[in-house]
Amino acid sequence: MVTEMKQKLYFPIRKLSLRYAYFAYFDTKDYLADPLFMRHKVRVWYGKHFAKKGSPYLGIICKVRKCDVPHFQEALKELENSMLICGYTDYESKVSAVVDNIKQVLGVEDCDENDSPGEAKQGQTA
């Protein structure tokens, strides 16, 4: 199970697929997560990458096989330690702030492993 703080460092994206689970996570321009995925034997298909000018962090959209999701999550748990070792001491605070901002914009209070911040609350219409 993913702890509350670790969960703020990535989030699932709800997308209809029988084989794949989609995620958004945050890495550096050196792609520190890639060796962790290899170590955990997780194949990751990468989508779009997003970066803010001047920031060392990238937002990465990816997909993994549903059977590999636990290994993917374990690799992301280790990513925070790798960030600290490599000198990215503000990783947790910066990424948590971005994820909280995304949740606020989308109107999502909290998400867990089965939910995604891609589902905004809809108001009732008359």
For position 121, what pLDDT does the model report? 44
Q: What pLDDT was estimated at residue 11? A: 84
Ramachandran angles phi, psi of 119, nearest 5°? -105, 105
Cα dihedral 19, 44, 57, 97 sign: positive
Q: What pLDDT shows up at residue 65?
A: 97
What CATH topology corresponds to 9-103?
A: Alpha-Beta Plaits (3.30.70)
Mean pLDDT by 10-residue block, N- to C-terminus, for the chain (126 residues)?
54 91 93 95 94 90 96 93 92 87 75 46 44
Beta bridge partners of 10: 25
Confidence (pLDDT) at 7:
55
pTM confidence score:
0.76
> Can you give the pLDDT at residue 106?
77
Q: How far apart are CA 78 and CA 107, in angstroms?
A: 29
Domain layout of the chain by residue ranges: 9-103
